[in-house]
Structure 1
Amino acid sequence: MTLDFDISKMIDARQRIDPAFLGSPVLTDAALDAAIGCSVLAKAELANPIGCFKGRGADLFCSTALQARESVVCASAGNFGQGLAYATNRRGHACTVFAASQANPVKVEAMRRLGANVRLVGADFDAAKAAARDHAEQTGQRWVEDGAEAAIAEGAGTIALELIEATPFDVLVVPLGNGALLDGVGEVVRALAPQACIIAVVAANAPAMKLSLEAGRAVATEHADTIADGIAVRVPIPSTLGRLRACCDDVVAVSEDSLFEAMRLIHRTLRVVVEPAAAAGLAAMLAEPERYAGLRVATVLTGGNISPALRARLLAA
């Protein structure tokens, strides 16, 4: 996938993705705007069959990149695995998902309920990913790497297409994990709303993607200890970094406290429960309010598959 944008491909993508994942609402609230000091436009990828944005890219991938009955293997913190499980199940493919031994139990159960063979291996996502890749090589099944497949990014890009059609914005603030979301929405925004600034957000406790984009090469870290499991990357995908750097104007890191405070603010004002990675954009606004003052700032609430412990903490706050 390159930054040579082809609108016909995006239109075709929307025709191929299960409509259940399309047309997500843009949530706004005056109290939220007042708390941040800007107009917040929150594209909420919550009310769909898997409760997150990953279904868009996974369904497009399965509809365009797989042979009939082809089996797939992936690694996931939980949301991409749900998306791939959903898409493969409805299209007649077997799906094996490797996740960390301490993965969010809500996501693990959902992947199994959607038909995936879930294997819990390793201390974190990247350890599970290494095991998944080995399994795919040993069995000859199709290895699907979230962040490296063009169709997955193109599916995510439909979020930006809908956002641009719905409302103007000055800044788009995007959670950054392995990069499929930034890749997809960045390409669309660069082509159709080039005046908008794009800010990517990582967790300060999982800085590998920020370090890598700043260094211009893959920089792995020993740990990725953050409540935001959806963006807890320790080992970046080297081949994607140049493209991702072109898709954003800056990369910022947010603290664990900012992530949780953003979750609280979203719950209080927009009246939805989101997982920590989904709150990363708002956390960035909370951390640097002067940067966004008076602007129309869009972000993506990427999912609501929160762990039971975090849900209890959030609702008690």
Structure 2
Amino acid sequence: MNAAVPENAARYTHAELTAAAEIVHRGMAPTACLRWPLLDAALGCTAWVKHENQTPLGAFKVRGGLVYFERLTQRAPDVRGVICATRGNHGQSVAYAASRFGLSSTIVVPHGNSREKNAAMRALGAALIEHGSDFQEAREHAQQLAAERGLHLVPSFDDALVLGVASYALELFDAAGPLDTVYVPIGLGSGICGMIAARDALGLATQIVGVVSSGAPAYARSLAAGHVVAHEVTTQLADGMACRVPEPQAFEIIRRGAERLVDVGDDEIAVAMRLAFETTHNVLEGAGAAATAAALQERERNAGRHIGVVFSGGNIDRPVYAGVLAGTV
């Protein structure tokens, strides 16, 4: 993997990213990009935090939903209902954006999904269906229901989703300036692909480091193999990263544009969640703390450097978070 994709291989243009960001900012304000002295000290470098945990839905996914539904309603004005599969944040984005555009939404989640994420999706107007033991099984069921019920299936990865998500990366680089490295968690891949897209469109030399859960290493295994391979998911804390089967398009963008991937375990993520609370008083879900966990793991590498870490989401069930803070999770 290379630190930067050659300019002529950029996946999206700056004009496309800017147009998508304008759509996003009609629906939400830019999120904060801040430095926290105690976090700088803990990470041993200058660290800019992109606070995607502070979007209207508590996670970065809302950005992609706004752009996707803007485009959907333009190209298919007769659509009345949509369906998707999720572990939570993508589903909230779909429910939120669907309601803004007057569409009904059905969301499929696996059994045992976050109770509070489920409640949030229902509160946003979605009809919730529980099916399967993991995201992949929920995804396959959503595909089946879409065909049976004549619903538009909203994918978990799509150009419009990436373009919308990239707006957070544009905001980061605008606030922090050129950075040596940015750490981005990987679920299905829209977050890191958006960061790569912005980096390339701006012509920066920033290294993009993807972060996967050691309990969901499908992307890391795929990059090592040179092709997409599935891997079982065992993480109990990073549900937003619980990908069993990588998205081929995301895999290709990551393969070309990421510097490397870092694996972090649930124990490292729990440490990072506590650190984020102690140093910034921000609540993070497991995936939301993964970038910080990776930066902690690479503390010596980053000495004297300027880095970015993405707080990608803060939607976590209260009992789980209480256990993390108490050190019992």
Q: Give me the TM-score of the superposition, normalised by structure 1.
A: 0.95
CA–CA distance in structure 1, aligned partners of residues 46 and 113 of structure 2: 35
Give the one of 170, 179, 195 matched to 1:161. Answer: 170
Aligned counterpart, 1:73: 83
Asked if the contact 2:214–2:235 (Cα under 8 Å) also holds between the matched residues in 1, the reply is no
1:289: how far off?
Answer: 1.2
Partner of 1:196: 206
3-state secondary structure, aligned to 1:46: helix
Structure 1 residue 126, shift from structure 2 partner: 1.3
Greater Cα shift, 131-140 or 268-277 = 131-140
Equivalent residue number for residue 283 of structure 1: 293
Residue 133 to residue 230, structure 1, CA distance change in 2 (3 Å): same
The structure whose RCO (Cα within 8 Å, separation 6+) is larger is: 2
2:69 corresponds to which residue?
Answer: 62
Aligned residue in 2 for 1:152: 161
- In structure 1, what is the equivalent of residue 14 of structure 2? 7
Residues of 1 paired with 2:282 and 2:289: CA distance? 11
Aligned amino acid, residue 165 of structure 1: D
1:127 equivalenced with 2:134 (yes/no): no
Identify the match of residue 255 of structure 1 among 261, 265, 268. Answer: 265
Q: 1:310 Cα shift?
A: 1.7
For the residues of structure 1 that align with 2:234 and 2:243, how far apart are their CA atoms?
6
Q: 1:49-73: per-residue Cα shift (whole Å, max 9, x none)? A: 2111111001110001232352211
* Matched residue SS, 1:162: helix
Is contact 2:216-2:232 (8 Å) kept?
no
Hey, what's the Cα distance between the residues in 1 that align with 2:298 and 2:54? 29
Whole-angstrom distance in 1 between the partners of 2:213 and 2:234: 9
Residue identity opposite 1:113 in structure 2? A
Change in CA separation of 1:68 and 1:154 when aligned onto 2, cut-off 3 Å:
same
Task: Give the structure 2 partner of residue 26 of structure 1.
Answer: 33
Corresponding pairs, count: 315
For structure 1, which segment, 201-210 or 14-23, has the greater mean C-alpha deviation from structure 2 after superposition?
14-23
Out of 303, 308, 319, which is 1:298 matched to?
308
Query: Once structures 1 and 2 are overlaid, which stretch shifts more, 150-159 or 45-54?
Result: 45-54
Residues 264 and 314 in structure 1, CA contact (< 8 A), matched pair in contact too: yes
Amino acid at match of 1:45: E
CA distance in 2, matches of 1:209, 1:226: 18
Alignment pair present for 1:42 and 2:49: yes
In structure 2, give the amino acid aligned to 1:91. F
Counterpart CA distance in 1 for 2:101 and 2:14 is 26
SS in 1 for 2:53: coil
Shift of 1:20: 4.8
Aligned mate of 1:52, from 54, 59, 62: 59
Which amino acid in the other structure matches residue 39 of structure 2?
L
Q: CA deviation at 1:124?
A: 1.2
**Gapped runs of 5+ residues in structure 1?**
none
CA displacement 1:154-176 (0-9 Å, x = unmatched): 01101111111111211011001
Q: CA RMSD in A?
A: 1.5
In the alignment, is residue 108 of structure 1 matched against residue 115 of structure 2?
Answer: no
1:221 aligned to 214, 219, 231, which one?
A: 231
Shift, 1:143, TM fit: 1.4
